[in-house]
Structure 1
Amino acid sequence: MNWPDIADAMFGGLADYGEILVLVSNSVIAGAVLGLVGGLVGVFVMQRDMAFAVHGISELSFAGAAFALLVGFDVVTGSIVGSLIAAAIIGVLGARARDRNSIIGVLMPFGLGLGILFLSLYDGRSANRFSLLTGQIVSVQSGQLGWLIAISAVVLLGMLLIWRPLRFDSLDPQSAAARGVPTTAVSFTFMLLLGLIVAVSVHIIGALLVMALLVTPAAAAMRVATGPIAVPVLAAVFGFVSAVGGILLAIAGTLPVSPYITTISFVIYLVCRGVGSRRDRVTRAA
């Protein structure tokens, strides 16, 4: 493929951009909500060293969505069920980091294998199968948008309710336990909330690249900010820009939405890493 063909694939739809934007307005709204909430959740994912868990949950979410697609059930519901099962298993059995990583390492190939099996048995449109892995900007229907927003609101409300004990437990789990914080209940609740946001993120960006919304924005924010308010706010902004910006760029081309979202998210991280490194050098020199 030469450069004109690549450019056409990426931006060949500019002539009808306005009409296409109207058609995918549901996806833009869903992406905005998921970017904001995913950025907030991602801060605690990074603080608790659980980036690997996001990928593990997404594999089981993919398996649940693939099974729902095979039997003709709602894909979002199947994705949520798979995510919650994975989150519950990791939350119950993976209290310690070593146990958690080994459990995730076992769940990931199992979930991916199940998902591939279900997709191989599915005889419907190939685009439906491909969208589970890489996302689909036209897959959010009006009825599903309400559920996506409702689930994101539940996650946000849950995060606000456990924010202080979760932050304490994430930064200093030993002191939190000594002060009487119910660390087991807090950790399990967070895992369930993480499972919900992973499930709805899979519907937008796909199972393989969901960490672009739940890890990279928070990692970028933590390179340039340190405050308890600045980091979550900046992570939410980065998640919003990545999700909405990726969808708006994908509308102009024929490529899946995930490459655009992941590229924007990665560029933001590189810029923040450069800014953080420069600031550290200036501080050391001073």
Structure 2
Amino acid sequence: MATSGAQDQLEKNAGYYQSLLVAQHDPKLVESISTDLNRTFPDNVQFQKTSNPCLQKALCNVLRAYGHHNPTVGYCQGMNFIAGFLLIITKDEEKSFWLMDALLGKILPDYYSPAMLGLKTDQEVLGELVKVKSPRVWKTMMDHNVMWTLVVSRWFICLYIDILPVETVLRIWDCLFYEGSKILYRVALTLIHHHRVLIQQAQSLQDVCQVFKQITHGPFVEECHTFMQKIFTEPGSISIATLTKLRAACRARIIAQEAN
């Protein structure tokens, strides 16, 4: 709450969250959110209807409030996991709302906008970083014509929730709020670099997809403290200047492709 600026926003905007809850909501927004409620952490006891309190109601409130607060974004799949994860951690609707606003508004702009330009850009940037840091993996991906979006889009859109073990995700999120989106690359590059031999052995597009599912499980990601140390050493340095340059180039390329 402190490092993200969410606490500051909560204090400056007393009563704002409650006003969003009683506002008139777009029926399409309400319907989209309702469809995804049962799909959010179905195995977590706190989201089951028999639980008291059941976090589904709070999840619905946070998502509706955010959709009304930021109509440009509204609601898209993936946001339910983010809001749900924040509720599990904070047990507080208003705090979850402001943390979500910090994530989607400041830390990850354009990730969840209708065009998802930020998300598409970062996936392409990951490809460029792999090309430099693990060239043989990059060649394997090119040989089998695998688009990065096919294998890493859920990593980025869910911010590793439901991809990696929850203890590991909590530590990644600490870094995400403290250091910004650069951490998402560090995690992806570490997973790819650590399993590079396995990826290079793939004989087809299906093999590559299977390996990418496989590498998010097992002792390497379960030992969260060791894993967090690895993400700051295995990928080597990733400067902000490099990322800024790559993002600008990839973003321009995506806009040009979509214009055609």
TM-score (normalised: structure 2): 0.30
TM-score (normalised: structure 1): 0.28
Indicate the structure whose relative CO is greater, using CA pairs within 8 Å and at least 6 residues apart.
Answer: 1
More helix by share: 1
